[in-house]
Amino acid sequence: MADYIYTMEIRLTPDQSKGVNLVQDVARAAGITLYLTGGAIRDIISGFTIRDLDFTVQGNPLKLQKDFERAGAQLAGHDDETRTLFLVLPGNVRAEIGMAHTEHYEKVGKAPTIAPASIQEDLRRRDFTVNAMALSLNEGSRGLLLDPFNGVADIEAKLLRILHNYSFVEDPSRLIRATRFAARFHWPMEERTQQRYDAAKENKYIDHIARSAVGHEIAQLAHEDDPLNVIRALEKEDFLKVLHPHWSAAKVDTNGLALLMKTRQQMVDLGYTVDPSAAVMHFLTARLSDKDISDLRRQIPRKDLIESWRDIEEHAKDLAKRLTGKEAATPSRTWNLLSSARPEMVLFLAVTSRHQSVALKIKNYLTKWRQVQQRLPLPEMTELLITPQLPEYPKIARDVFMLLLDGRLRSRTETLKFLKPFAPPPPPPPPPPRRGRGAKAAAGAAPAAVAGKKPEAVKGKGKGAAAPVSAVPPAAAKAPATKADAKTVAKPDVKAAAKQEPKTKAAKVAHKPAKPASKPSAKRPAKKAQPKKSKARKR
């Protein structure tokens, strides 16, 4: 039997996994039955990107709003009719928590009557077999997959299949959804589904689409990996104008969109979690009038998307302004500024900035400056015992990176001079060998410890080998050095070191403590104990 919990765990991003746990904890505390449903299950099983988390509870999730907020979720909207909460979970994870319900359609074009139901009944009101599965997240049945329509088999066959003949009639938005999924997954519709789709199109059932469904489908476009492909497919089927009468593929800024997706991939490859949805909407509607754009926004149920789309240009302008000012006067300052900016803004500005110096700074931030990390002398740092085991390692590595960025450490020698004072004292020597009778036995029992021998870590291949500074950006770089950080870092004994080092210009630079970072405290690294020569012995 397939282990769906295992599959889920390896397929979700770490933030999504935490999101599942968060929702699970809240539901458990409230004693409410919880399932992961819909597209999330489809994507987990099929291997496609898991874009959001759809949960279904047997009960009313609206009552849990405060509990979710207390647990760290943000409310992005709600639907009173279907009793759905739209949440943003920590790490920018989109989630929907809906009530298990039935939908009873009395007349074409009329909204269905909604009634609370069991999960089994809920699965029966869904659009396609591949979306009609639920994974139990409840104690006692955790990991059990409910798949009443054999959605797993349709995923394997790569087919879109409706659950019953009236699917498109009851909810015409499924015509748009079928087109969207077919374009995204390149899965055809199963034969009977295709026939029903064609008939529904011919009979113009789409004219009866619910307003709320239009808003939902507009928002879904923002999260497509290849939105232009979907827009074109919708236009071909005459459904794009259903979302807005003035919308067409010609209104899309195709070059901007292509560059956005390329830059986004570049950022993902660098380890950023970046949500491009607002920027995608910006480019998809680039040539629509302001009025058309506000019409589109008004229909979207998630206020997080509306706000981020509305404010994207303004926020990008602010960042651009800061990038041309004192705050970004040096590469290290620019690095810090861009590291603390939201990745979404960096992405948008990277694609839209017409200001040459801004564009160049972002380009350097995403490419050239990353290579500077490779100039960290890792083997020598390991020799000096400056390894990730040191609590102050991230700060030291970061300071060196900043100095290298600004060209204040020009050579390996200068870098090493800077690093040396940070080297911790060597480990204490092993106890002296026993003398007398017990010595032989002890020597046989334990391998002789050689005084002054380097520990494993020093050899550079063991656990203690210095980590590459790739550990710094983007993760560590996002947290700018604080005063508290600085306190933990021992200041190198600059004066003492200066006495010993040749007084070249380069040496002076190397011995200056890292300026752009916060000031290290006056603590000195412990010096190696040097026994004083006794006068008595001299005599």
Q: Rule CB under 6 A: say whether 173 interacts with ligand CTP.
A: yes
Q: Rule CB under 6 A: say whether 220 interacts with ligand CTP.
A: yes
**Binding span for ligand CTP by CB under 6 A among 106-114, 213-221, 248-256, 284-292:** 213-221
**Residue 176 CB, nearest approach to ligand CTP (Å):** 9
Residue 363 CA neighbour count, 13 Å, CB half: 10
Residues 6+ apart with CB under 8 A from 206: 172, 175, 176, 200, 239, 242
Residue 120 CA neighbour count, 13 Å, CB half: 2
Q: Rule CB under 6 A: say whether 331 interacts with ligand CTP.
A: no
**Cβ nearer to ligand CTP, comparing 34 with 490:** 34
Q: Rule CB under 6 A: say whether 520 interacts with ligand CTP.
A: no
Q: Rule CB under 6 A: say whether 11 interacts with ligand CTP.
A: no
Q: Rule CB under 6 A: say whether 131 interacts with ligand CTP.
A: yes
Q: Rule CB under 6 A: say whether 304 interacts with ligand CTP.
A: no
**Residue 222 CB, nearest approach to ligand CTP (Å):** 10
**Binding span for ligand CTP by CB under 6 A among 149-157, 166-174, 187-195, 340-348:** 166-174
Amino acid (one-letter) located at 40: A
Secondary structure (3-state) at 79 = strand
The H or E element containing residue 104 is strand 101-104
Determine contact, residues 214/243, Cβ cutoff 8 Å. yes
- Separation of alpha carbons 161 and 164, rounded Å: 9
Site string for ligand CTP, 46-75 (x = CB under 6 A): -----xx-x---------------------
Radius of gyration in angstroms for the set of CA atoms belonging to the chain, rounded to a whole number: 31
Beta pairing, strands 134-136 & 33-37: antiparallel
**Cβ nearer to ligand CTP, comparing 27 with 183:** 183
The H or E element containing residue 358 is helix 356-366
**Residue 23 CB, nearest approach to ligand CTP (Å):** 15
**Residue 261 CB, nearest approach to ligand CTP (Å):** 17
**Cβ nearer to ligand CTP, comparing 219 with 403:** 219
Q: Rule CB under 6 A: say whether 94 interacts with ligand CTP.
A: no
**Cβ nearer to ligand CTP, comparing 126 with 398:** 126
Count of residues that interact with ligand CTP, criterion CB under 6 A? 16
**Cβ nearer to ligand CTP, comparing 177 with 282:** 177
Determine contact, residues 288/251, Cβ cutoff 8 Å. yes
Q: Which of 171, 253, 304, 414 binds ligand CTP (CB under 6 A)?
A: 171
**Nearest residue relative to ligand CTP (C-beta):** 39
For every residue of 208-275, DSSP letters joined together read: G--HHHHHHHHHHHTT-SSHHHHHHHHHHTT-HHHH-TT--GGGS-HHHHHHHHHHHHHHHHTT----
Determine contact, residues 139/169, Cβ cutoff 8 Å. no
Give the residues lining the site for ligand CTP (CB under 6 A): 38-39, 51-52, 54, 126-127, 131-132, 171, 173-174, 177, 213, 216, 220
